[in-house]
Amino acid sequence: MARKGLGRGLNEMFGSNTVKTEEQAKTTSRKTTSKTTAVKTSKENKPIIKEVIKEVVKEVPSVQELSIDDIEPNKGQPRKEFNEDALQELADSIKQYGLIEPIVVTKKDTHYEIIAGERRWRAARIAGVRKVPVVIREYTDQQRMEVALIENIQREDLNPIEEALAYQTLIDEYHMTQDQVADRVSKSRSAVTNSMRLLKLTDEVKQMLIDGMISSGHARCLVTITDPDVQKQCATEIFDEGLSVRETEDLVKNVQSIMTSSSKEKSKPTENKNEAIQAILDQYTENLKNVLGTKVKIKSSNGKKGKIEISYSSADDLERIIHMIQNNNLQ
């Protein structure tokens, strides 16, 4: 009986789970190996995961608040002109709703410099705001210029001369080609080239463009006139007569034709210029004659100063002309 009891083996004495079969041992070994591999893989991936998290956190901008006095404009900001009425409107909105969109800044010495949002910063100062929301970024000088330029172009905040000067700065200071500039601002190369051609205008004509007295289309026509006095005279006529771009093209062709024909006759440059100016004055004379219904003469010695002679046939005719002038009825 005792033998029979012992003959049931160790499994019977200690339970079926105490001694594992060969198959069970293999299964356990596989599970252990799998678990070890998983732990090992997890440890190997930890540095990679950490780097990914760092990159994700880096890309997400953190909005902070800074004292408005700790922020200064970017001296390389392409935009130089700020409409006072528009600034006041924005300031009124900020007073009512707060500054919704943060200003993008970068740390520079003891202060923060604006990369994008100078108009908002100016309006916030007018509104009396002491602290403003900002996103702090790290940029090189070239990146600061590019971001400021792109933001203003996207918002259509730059006047044509500011835009052209910004392109010129990227080329001169950062040695970029026109193709590279065009790629940065998502414009065609021809658009960048045509914009920069406006810098060839005289200062007076540039200011007329900035003030909205003439359009970029008008200005591009005038660029082909190299004589400063003639260019200014043409710009003045465009504004005074309300010429379209097409009419401006015709005017410029007429002026250039006169100057070219005079050149072929070997006239002096001064004579060429005087003839071109006289062509413009003749156009003025004809326009006044048609409007006033009487004979008109415009006399000019140097294209800058002169006098206008208006003829009248009677006292009633004189009164009629004076009445038209006083009431600005010269349409």
Domain end among 140, 166, 186: 140
- Give dist(CA 66, CA 101) in Å, integer: 14
Q: Is 279 helix (H, G, I), strand (E, B) or coil?
A: helix
> Looking at the predicted structure, is the pLDDT value of residue 217 above 60?
yes
User: Does residue 305 sit in helix, strand or coil?
Assistant: coil
Are the CB atoms for 232 and 302 separated by under 8 Å?
no
Spatial neighbors of 214 by CB under 8 A, at least 6 apart, are: 205, 208, 222, 235, 238, 239
Asked whether the whole model's pTM tops 0.95, one would answer no
Decide which of 213 and 313 is more confident.
Answer: 213
Convert the pLDDT of each residue in 203-214 to its tens digit: 999 999 999 999
**Position 91 pLDDT exceeds 80:** yes
CA 189 – CA 181 distance, rounded (Å): 8
In three-state secondary structure terms, 37 is helix
Chain segment 136-166, per-residue pLDDT in tens: 988 887 787 778 777 777 666 788 998 898 8
Owner of token pair 């002038």: 325
**Catalytic amino acids?**
118
Residue 186 within any structural domain of the chain: no
CATH number at residue 76: 3.90.1530.30
Interatomic CA distance for residues 305 and 300, integer angstroms: 6
What distance in Å separates the CA atoms of residue 95 and residue 156, rounded to the nearest whole number?
A: 24
**Structural domain contains residue 43:** no
Q: Indicate if the pLDDT at residue 53 is higher than 70.
A: no
Q: The domain containing residue 299 runs over which residues?
A: 201-326
Residue type, 311: S
What's the pLDDT at 301? 65
Q: Name the residue with tokens 């800044």.
A: 105
Residue 12 located in a structural domain: no
Whether residue 205 is found in the same domain as residue 300? yes
- Judgement on whether residues 127 and 237 belong to the same structural domain of the protein: no
- Segments of the chain assigned E as strands: 63-67, 71-72, 103-108, 111-116, 131-136, 296-300, 306-310
Three-state DSSP at 114 gives strand
Determine the pLDDT at residue 262: 60
Closest CA to 210 of 198, 223, 225, 227: 198
DSSP 266-278: T--HHHHHHHHHH
Highest mean pLDDT among 88-102, 213-227, 306-320: 213-227
In the chain, DSSP finds a helix count (H) and a strand count (E) of: 15, 7
- From 23-27, 127-131, 152-156, 315-319, the region with the lowest mean pLDDT: 23-27
**Measured in Å, how far apart are the chain's first and last C-alpha atoms?**
136
Query: Are residues 68 and 123 in contact, defined by beta-carbon separation less than 8 angstroms?
Result: no
136 shares its domain with 205: no
184 part of a folded domain: no
Domains identified in the chain, total number: 2
Q: Mean pLDDT score of the chain, rounded to an integer?
A: 77
> Is 247 a member of any domain?
yes
Given a contact cutoff of 8 angstroms between Cβ atoms, the answer to whether 122 and 144 are in contact is no
Domain membership flag for residue 48: no
Q: How confident is the model at residue 268 (pLDDT cuts 50, 70, 90)?
A: low
The residue out of 111, 140, 169 marking a domain boundary is 140
262 domain residue, yes or no: yes
Whether 120 and 225 share a structural domain: no
Percent with pLDDT over 70 in the chain: 73
Residue 249 structure tokens? 């093209």
The predicted pLDDT at position 16 comes to 45
Could you tell me if residue 297 is left (phi over 0), alpha (psi between -120 and 50 degrees) or otherwise beta? beta
Residues 322 and 205 in one domain: yes
Helices 228-241 and 269-292, packing angle to 10 deg:
10
Residue 26: pLDDT over 50? no
Residue 228 lies in a domain: yes
For position 4, what pLDDT does the model report? 45
* CA 51/CA 209 separation, integer angstroms: 52
Domain boundary among 140, 173, 192: 140
For the record, the structure tokens of 50 come out as: 């950490």
